[in-house]
Amino acid sequence: MTRLAANLTMLFNEAEFLDRFGHAARAGFRGVEFLFPYAYRAEEIADRLDAWRLTLVLHNLPAGDWAGGERGIACHPGREAQFQEGVGVALDYARALGVTQLNCLAGIAPPGVAHDQAHATLVSNLRFAADALRREGIDLLIEPINTRDIPGFFLHGTRQALDIIAETGADNLFLQYDIYHMQRMEGELASTIKANLGQIRHIQLADNPGRGEPGTGEINYRYLLGMLDELGYGGWVGCEYKPRAATAQGLHWMAEHGL
């Protein structure tokens, strides 16, 4: 049976962040995820997880100046020390929150930097992060993101991500497969998931166009989620969509999809 995690960056965002854990639990979610925990003390988040008996499925490594438009710095030459410091901060939170996987956003390709240099920087940073996480028993994920929503994002395809994973040579580096992003970039969702399920450790969903709830667009989520069950996928599926109204009003999609 598909295990759904509420993305608290996007779901229940009509409430204050620390109150969203309770909303997610009352709605039937047993797992949660979000972009970043770093604006809060780890103890504050741990208290919410314990109080509502929720699993924190994952969060991201620090990703640079998010408010200023950065979407990760892992492919940015010259910022390796900042990246490495961020890995240490993320691990402190992961230990406190029981997180077993962390996602690394590659970032927008920096202007004036050759593709090969950005690629080499990303691979080197991933090797560093994977090694640090391995010592703690934590997996590292990378996520291709569509370049329509985030123009210039360096990591934007499944094949590219899998080639980077192979080049890195880390046995704890895996793919985070976002169905919405890959529908926009590639299509071929079912065949791609089937072919690469062994490399996929986390899946996220939203419909297209509009990034709304499943059932509001063109993606056949009844088929895809049923396929994941048939394939024996054991990971979580993060609900990272933009609710069309208040979050609770749109949750009927789960029953409509047999969840």
Say whether 4 sits in a helix, a strand or coil: strand
Catalytic residue among 33, 143, 186, 218: 143
3: its two tokens: 């295990």
143 is catalytic: yes
Spatial CB neighbours of 55, under 8 Å, sequence gap ≥ 6: 5, 30, 31, 32, 49, 98
Q: How far apart are CA 7 and CA 49, in angstroms?
A: 14
Cis check for the bond before 209: say yes or no (omega within 30 of 0).
yes
- Beta-strand relationship, 236-239 and 3-7: parallel
Which of 189, 87, 139, 164 has its CA nearest to residue 155?
A: 164
32: its two tokens: 């949660």
DSSP, residue by residue, 25-84: HHTT-SEEE-S--TTS-HHHHHHHHHHHT-EEEEEEPP-S-TTTT----TT-TT-HHHHH
Burial of residue 22, with CB atoms counted within 10 A of its CB: 0-12 exposed, 13-18 middle, 19 or more buried: middle
Say whether 142 sits in a helix, a strand or coil: strand
H runs (alpha helix) in 171-241: 179-185, 189-196, 221-231
Catalytic residue annotation: 143, 240
